[in-house]
Amino acid sequence: MAVLVNGHDLSKGFSGRHLFDALAFGISDGERIGLIGPNGAGKSTLLKMILGSEKPDSGTIARKQGLRVAYLSQTPELAPESTILETILEGALDPYEWESTARALELLSKLAFDEAGLSEDTLVGALSGGWRKKVALARELMREPNLLLMDEPTNHLDVESILWLEEFLAKVPFATLTITHDRLFLNRISNCIWELDRRNPNGLLRVEGDYATFCEIKEQHVNALERKETVLKNTLRRETEWLRRGPAARTTKQTARINRAGDLASNVEALEGLNKVQSVGIVFGTAESTPKKLIEAKKISKSYGDRKLFKDFSLLLQRGNRIGLLGPNGAGKSTLIKLLLGVEQPDSGSVERSDQLQIAYFDQNREHLDPNLTVLKTVCPQGDHVFFRGNYTHVRSYLDRFLFNVEQSDSPVSKLSGGEQARLLIAKLMLREANILVLDEPTNDLDLPTLNILEERLKDFEGAIVLVSHDRYFMDQVVDRIFVPADGHIEEFVGVGQWEAWQKDRAKRSKSAPLPAGSQRTPELPKKLKLSYNDQREFDQMESKIHGLEAKLESLTLESQKPELASSSSKLTKLTAEMAELQTEIDRLYARWSELETKG
């Protein structure tokens, strides 16, 4: 495999804080790399260095000549006044070629914009965060990259879009490097895992294989380090005992042994630093009074205009229940939560709530965080103590549970990273006693160690949990039942695996459903074959070319049917000739496709 990028002896830091030192890596064609590591390790910075928008403090990055790199950031910059099509075409090599337009329209179709009622002329400013992320992804794909860099691509995407992205990334002909903490997504899109962590030798642990393989290797690695630390500590104890026996035991002949004891102490200290894991101190307080029955919905229905979200849905939410809500954006998950909590009223049916109901709510949009307030004032608006689990605790000690140092505590919220803001929101949430936790996408931006702790603490929570999340692994660990709004009603599943099987069967039934009268199904184009470089490149572009020509032919056919053209023979003749040329070219491309298929 050809090497696309090489990094050698890279170091980087900000404000005196080192992210990594002497880092080395290589990225080869065809690799699907998943990049993980704790928040603040420098993952996003590393992506920007590979892209070239960030420079290392020292070391070199060598890129293959002519390398095309695309980059999907966590928060893509999009012009709100531009249309979806105009934005996607920003990534085209030549945005004015009709082939570029055809490819952009094809991407719009694959991303199901039309199914959501969005057209190519929809303004970007009118889109939700999830749809903006899809537009940004399509723009990067228009660059026809050799290497695609993605920073948390699943954030703000609904689960159906994530499934599509998994399938898409499994088939792309280019290399990918993806930062993600969605473990199921990570496992399915990766054939190599990088863990960026200063506790790893040289800062980077590379494991060939998927995330499951990485977990096995990482466990062996951690166990080996712990055993090594134990052996060194035992040796150091013996050396220390010898050194303390008195001057008679330490003659000049033993100078080397004394020096070795000093080296051992340094090695033990270094290993202790490597093996020490700082973890977030998450504990959710359950309200003292938690009745068995918290919320009961009886045959509730909800519609907006002509759009029916669901009908006759019933749910009994009791102490200890854990339910999850899955489904595409706009399906009705947030509406269902509002109905259960009393923020909105159902069109029919009823919702009964306990008088002792106490709710703690995690908002994915983080609207409860004032960007201008300091971290300290966010959790403690007055005084310097917070009331936590029945006792008063100094606010700085409390923030230390969430890995906020003194400098960060005195900084405004706007200076925090996405993961740090999520930790801060959890810190606020923990100060509230509740018998229901409502968590709307709590996993966004959290690193894997924090996710593991959050999972365990949610399992310990004695009240009820309502979880909305696109992180299927996290949901499977936390909830007992999954509800999915779909086709005007709500389906119930006992796990993510059952939902995925249902979703695949539903997609197959949708594809095999009869088409409306007068419409045609686009012929399914062949899968990629083993061809020469030039033939493979021609084959890769075949689908977009055919779809583009067919779209243009359909447009001209509609144009030729206009009544005003019946009286203009010259225009009609010209239009007919152009249609004939298009049809000839389409036929030629299909013939060429058959030839390439046979050749492959």
Task: Of 170, 83, 182, 189, give the one whose Cα is nearest residue 131.
Answer: 83
Give me the mean pLDDT over the 439-449 stretch.
80
Asked whether the predicted pLDDT for residue 597 surpasses 90, the reply is no
Beta strand 391-394 with 385-388 is: antiparallel
CA distance 550 to 578: 13
CA distance 102 to 92: 11
CA distance 538 to 594: 13
When the pLDDT of each residue in the chain is averaged and rounded to a whole number, the result is: 80
Give me the mean pLDDT over the 148-177 stretch.
87
User: Per-residue pLDDT tens for 365-376?
Assistant: 666 678 888 989
Both tokens of 358, joined, read 């106490």
User: Per-residue pLDDT tens for 235-254?
Assistant: 656 656 655 665 555 454 45
Q: What is the pLDDT of residue 351?
A: 93
Its pTM surpasses 0.75: no
User: Per-residue pLDDT tens for 377-424?
Assistant: 888 888 888 887 667 888 888 888 777 788 888 888 888 877 778 788
Task: Of 39, 462, 532, 566, give the one whose Cα is nearest residue 280.
Answer: 39
If one compares 457 and 17, the residue with the highest pLDDT of the two is 457
Residue partners of 202: CB distance under 8 A and separation at least 6: 22, 23, 24
Task: Of 591, 584, 583, 588, give the one whose Cα is nearest residue 557.
Answer: 583
Residue 373 near residue 413, CB atoms below 8 Å: yes
Burial label for 61, CB within 10 Å (0-12, 13-18, 19+), is: middle
Give the helix/strand (H/E) hosting 351. Answer: strand 348-353
Q: What is the pLDDT of residue 525?
A: 39
Give me the mean pLDDT over the 198-211 stretch.
87
pLDDT over 90, % of the chain: 27
CB atoms within 10 A of CB 293: 12
CA distance 354 to 291: 8
Residue 446 near residue 391, CB atoms below 8 Å: no
Give me the count of residues in the chain: 600
